[in-house]
Structure formats: C-alpha cells, structure tokens
C-alpha cells in the first residue's frame, strides 16, 4: 500500500537521528528501481532537514545478495553512512559489503515495506530489550534449545562479536537492518554445535522461497553442519532441494540468536516485493538459526557462500548456562526480558 511521503517522514527523521547523522557527514540514500519513491525520498528529506548534503543513488534491480554496480559501491565506500532501501536484501551478504564497511561507512539496510516501516520503527520501548539480551549473551557460554516437537540442540557460545539488531547504526563500519530487533551470535558458532532441530515456523530461503512450514522439518546438526534433512513431506523436500542448489558452506551454521520485538508477527500481510524476513527474525522469543554466508558485521570471521537461509523455531525453550531464558516461546522473568515494555 502506498502510504505516502508525509506519513513516512517522521519515522525517517527518527531513524536518521538515532543514527546520529551529523550535517558534515557524507550520506548516500540507495534504492533500486523496484522501490517506490516515497521512502527513499523521506530518508533523503530527513537527511536534508538535518543539514546533510545527501545524495540519492538508484540502480536497477540486482539479484539477491548481489553487489550493486561498481559506481554505486564507490559512492558507498566514500560515504560516512548509507541508508540502503533495496527491498530484497543485498547488503547483509553480498561481497561488496565487506569493503564498504571496512572503509568506515556505516550501513543501515531498510528492506521493509513502507507500511512495515511505519508500524515497527525503532522505538525506545523495544530497544532496551536488545541491551538486556546483549548483556545476557555476552556472559553466557552455552545455549540449549528444546521444543515440543523434539528439538534438542546444544551450542557453545564463544567470546567474540555479537550482532545485536537494533535497527540503526551510529559507529563507523557498523551494519544493521531496520526492522530487525534481535540478538545474534555468530563468532565461531559452528565449532561446537550439535543436536536435532525441528524447524516449525518461518523459513527464509532466498531468493526463491519464504514460507511458514505447515509441518516441522527435522534436521540433524553435527559440528555446526547440517548432516541430515528428513525430507518426509513436500516442504522438507523443497528445503532439501534448495540446499542442494548451493555449495557445501550453505550447510554450515552462520548465526544463532533470539527475536526480541513484541510487535513482530508470523502472520503478516505479504506486500511484494518485500520479504517477511526482518519481521520473522524479530519475533519475540523465537530462536533464529542462519546457515551459509557470514559477514564481518556479524562475527570475527567472514565466510562466503553462495547461499544463506534463515529458519525460525517457535515455541522453543532456551536455557543459557543453566538459566531458563525462554520457556515455550516466551521470555521468562528471570531473563529480564519478560515484560513487553519499560
């Protein structure tokens, strides 16, 4: 739905302010030809309102996780901050993102629909949850995930970079995605992870598929790698085929984390070409597993794969270092994340 420039501007201004954009900073607003003009124009206007000499860069639609044209990459490398409005994400996993971030540019992806941007803008009532979760992950060494379907997964959490998703960026070289409110760990996560997972919720298999599985999909993980998929129903078979279409690295765990946004829902309205991924990865209390590509913004190390998937386990129980953090999909009081607001 076209909700218009005026409705988008306040949330764009709030986001620009959270990103601490200064008038002397070099700002690029990037969009592709699939994105309607209203949201890029709202961000552009928000930057101009804050005194920035911003430029708007528009390219043709690229394949998912594919670099923009080199001229656009050059502009982004030269920028202090990029607001990336491309509907189908590239900047989370495309090769050029590492060189852009390495140049000191901070990048905020805004791959959400106009309606979703207005519905779930960065909000202090939610953002405190990321701080609490970050503290929790920083001081935990082990995560145990179970679910009524039979999930029983162990992961050793190494000390390293955490990837808290707040939906704004304020430090050089930082990347985040507007609409993703979550906590994720990726550093060396593949080294000690084992067990069984039943994916029973959203499956994000870019670029082709995005669905909520009607029956759980069972996978076996050893040493951080999917070693078996039980292809016992059509969605599990589709998942198997999708995995086979990439390289060996796509079977390796990329990241593990928890959704933190009470506003995020499973049953959101489909608004093509926008994906559900940012909202699904943010579902409060959901366990999110990613496989395949891993970027610098997520971890201490980089892994290139041609594929990346995100899968969500709903209704799970999560125990970290003996403390129950999530019980059947809801944060416990003990976690400090039990209340919806502050």
Partner 1 sequence: MEVGFPELLPAATQSVRLCRVRPDEKVVVYTDTSTDAAIPEAWYAACVVEGCDVVLIRGQAREVETDPPLPAIAAMTEADVVFDIPSVDDGYAPSLPAILASGTRVLQILLPRESVIERAPDPENSWRADASELLMKDANEIRIVTPEGTDLRATLAKDRPLDVARGYVREAGEWDSYGTDLIAVSPIEGSVHGTIVFNGPLILFPQFTFSPRAPIRVEVVEGRITEMAVNDEDGRKLEWWFAQWDDPNAYVFSHIGWGLDPRADLSVYELTAWESYDGGVMVAFGSNTSGALRGEVQSQAHMDGILLGASLWLDDLQVIEGGAFTDASGLRPRSRSTGSAR
Interacting residues of 293 by C-beta distance below 8 A, sequence separation 6+: 65, 93, 249, 254, 303, 304, 305, 307, 308
Residue nearer to partner 1 on the CB measure, 54 or 287: 54
- Of 14, 58, 144, 265, the one binding partner 1 (CB under 8 A) is 58
Q: Which of 59, 80, 81, 83 is nearest to 70 (CA)?
A: 59
Judged by CB under 8 A, the number of residues near partner 1 is 24
Shortest distance, position 59 Cβ to partner 1, whole Å = 5
Contact call for residues 2 and 114 (beta carbons, < 8 A): yes
CB 110 within 8 A of CB 19: no
**Does 56 participate in binding partner 1 (rule CB under 8 A)?**
yes
> Is the separation of the CB atoms in 292 and 308 below 8 Å?
yes
53 near partner 1, judged by CB under 8 A? yes
Q: How far is the CB of 290 from partner 1 (least distance, A)?
A: 29
Is residue 78 close enough to count as binding partner 1 by CB under 8 A?
yes
Based on the shown chain and the rule CB under 8 A, indicate whether residue 75 belongs to the binding site for partner 1. Answer: yes
In angstroms, give the least distance from the CB of 58 to partner 1. 4
Region from 72-80, 195-203, 221-229, 266-274 binding partner 1, contact rule CB under 8 A = 72-80
Q: Select from 58-66, 113-121, 190-198, 270-278 the region that touches partner 1 (CB under 8 A).
A: 58-66
Q: Least distance to partner 1 from the beta carbon of 26, Å?
A: 5
The stretches of 245-301 forming alpha helices (DSSP H) are 277-280
CA separation for the pair 298, 185 (Å, rounded): 7
Residue tagged 């899968």 (tokens): 311
The correct pick among 57, 96, 112, 183 for binding partner 1 (CB under 8 A) is 57
CA distance 169 to 176: 6
User: What are the angstrom distances between the C-alpha of 41 and each of 19, 78, 272?
Assistant: 17, 21, 20
Task: Kindly identify the residues of this chain, within the stretch 1-40, that bind partner 1 according to CB under 8 A.
Answer: 26-28
Residue number, 76 or 311, with CB nearest to partner 1: 76
Q: Does 227 bind partner 1 (CB under 8 A)?
A: no
Interface with partner 1 includes 169 (CB under 8 A)? no
The region of 71-79, 151-159, 230-238, 311-319 touching partner 1 under the rule CB under 8 A is 71-79
Are the C-beta atoms of residues 126 and 263 closer than 8 Å to each other?
yes
Measured from the CB atom, the residue of 75 and 226 that comes closer to partner 1 is 75
Distance CA 7, CA 15 (A): 14
Token pair belonging to 142 = 């082990």
Instruction: Give the Cα separation of 337 and 342 in Å (integer).
Output: 10
The nearer residue to partner 1, 108 or 226, going by C-beta atoms, is 108
Based on the shown chain and the rule CB under 8 A, indicate whether residue 324 belongs to the binding site for partner 1.
Answer: no
> Binding partner 1 by CB under 8 A: which of 48, 49, 102, 223?
48
Q: Based on the shown chain and the rule CB under 8 A, indicate whether residue 107 belongs to the binding site for partner 1.
A: no
Q: Which of 59, 115, 240, 324 binds partner 1 (CB under 8 A)?
A: 59
> Of the candidates 38, 65, 76, 169, which one interacts with partner 1 according to CB under 8 A?
76
Shortest distance in whole angstroms from residue 34 CB to partner 1: 14
Distance between CA atoms of residues 331 and 338, nearest Å: 5
Burial group, residue 102, by CB count within 10 angstroms (0-12, 13-18, 19+): exposed
Q: Count the neighbouring beta carbons within 10 Å of the beta carbon of residue 172.
A: 12
Q: Which residues bind partner 1 (CB under 8 A)?
A: 26-28, 48, 53-60, 68-79
């Amino acid at each position: 739905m076209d909700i218009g420039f005026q409705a988008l501007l306040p949330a764009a201004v709030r986001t620009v302010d959270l990103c601490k954009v200064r008038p002397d900073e070099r700002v690029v607003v990037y969009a592709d030809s699939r994105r309607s003009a209203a949201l890029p124009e709202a961000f552009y206007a928000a930057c101009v309102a804050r005194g920035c000499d911003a430029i708007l860069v528009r390219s043709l639609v690229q394949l998912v996780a594919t670099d923009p044209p080199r001229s656009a990459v050059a502009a982004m490398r030269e920028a202090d901050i990029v607001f990336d409005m491309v509907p189908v994400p590239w900047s989370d996993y495309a090769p050029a993102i590492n060189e852009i971030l390495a140049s000191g540019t901070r990048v905020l992806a805004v791959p959400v629909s106009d309606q979703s941007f207005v519905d779930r803008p960065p909000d202090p009532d939610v953002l405190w949850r990321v701080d609490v979760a970050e503290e929790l992950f920083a001081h935990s060494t082990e995560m145990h995930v179970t679910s009524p379907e039979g999930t029983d997964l162990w992961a050793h959490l190494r000390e390293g970079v955490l990837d808290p998703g707040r939906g704004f960026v304020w430090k050089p070289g930082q990347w985040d995605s507007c609409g993703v409110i979550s906590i994720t760990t990726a550093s060396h996560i593949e080294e000690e992870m084992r067990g069984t997972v039943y994916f029973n919720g959203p499956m994000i298999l870019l670029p082709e598929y995005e669905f909520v599985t009607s029956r759980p999909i069972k996978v076996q993980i050893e040493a951080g790698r999917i070693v078996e998929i039980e292809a016992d129903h059509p969605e599990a078979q589709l998942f198997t085929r999708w995995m086979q279409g990439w390289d060996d690295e796509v079977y390796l765990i990329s990241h593990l984390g928890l959704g933190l946004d009470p506003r995020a829902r499973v049953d959101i309205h489909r608004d093509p070409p926008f994906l559900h991924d940012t909202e699904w990865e943010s579902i409060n209390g959901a366990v999110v597993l990613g496989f395949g590509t891993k970027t610098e913004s997520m971890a201490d190390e980089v892994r290139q794969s041609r594929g990346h998937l995100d899968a969500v386990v709903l209704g799970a129980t999560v125990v970290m270092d003996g403390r129950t953090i999530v019980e059947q999909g809801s944060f416990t009081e003990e976690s400090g994340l039990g209340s919806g607001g502050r």
